Amino acid sequence: QKEVEQNSGPLSVPEGAIASLNCTYSDRGSQSFFWYRQYSGKSPELIMFIYSNGDKEDGRFTAQLNKASQYVSLLIRDSQPSDSATYLCAVNKNTGRRALTFGSGTRLQVQP
């Protein structure tokens, strides 16, 4: 079982719709959760992080965390073609390995 699992996609949504990206993780010791965006041919960039159960909103982005279900998601409201990218979920355990473990990413396509 991979430590961080994501559906590879592509996830295709029309412009203006809500895109929902999901991620599960295997280690219950995971403490911090991150979403990175990676445009084709570019390096990953952090867009959101969440530490506590519940929702965290930042502009058009909402991260949701459910530690009991070992599940984290990212919602993108009013999706734009410029949101088309690969979204990487990453987790950190805060103990032991103090470096992020990334999922393989979900490719999002926003259709104009």
Partner 1 sequence: GAGVSQSPRYKVTKRGQDVALRCDPISGHVSLYWYRQALGQGPEFLTYFNYEAQQDKSGLPNDRFSAERPEGSISTLTIQRTEQRDSAMYRCASSPTGGGNTGELFFGEGSRLTVL
Q: Is 76 helix (H, G, I), strand (E, B) or coil?
A: strand
Given the complex with partner 1, which of 22 and 101 has the nearer CB atom?
101
- DSSP 8-class letter at 52: S
Provide the 10 A C-beta neighbour count for residue 29. Answer: 11
**What is the sign, positive or negative, of the torsion defined by CA atoms of 25, 43, 98, 96?**
positive
In angstroms, what is the minimal distance from the CB of 13 to partner 1?
A: 20
Stretch binding partner 1 (CB under 8 A), from 12-20, 52-60, 68-76, 84-92: 84-92
Quick one: which H or E segment has residue 3?
A: none
**Site for partner 1 contains 94 (CB under 8 A):** yes
Contacting residue, 13, 19, 65, 88, with partner 1 by CB under 8 A: 88
Could you list the residues that contact partner 1 (CB under 8 A)?
4, 8, 31-32, 34, 42-46, 49, 88, 90, 92, 94, 97-105
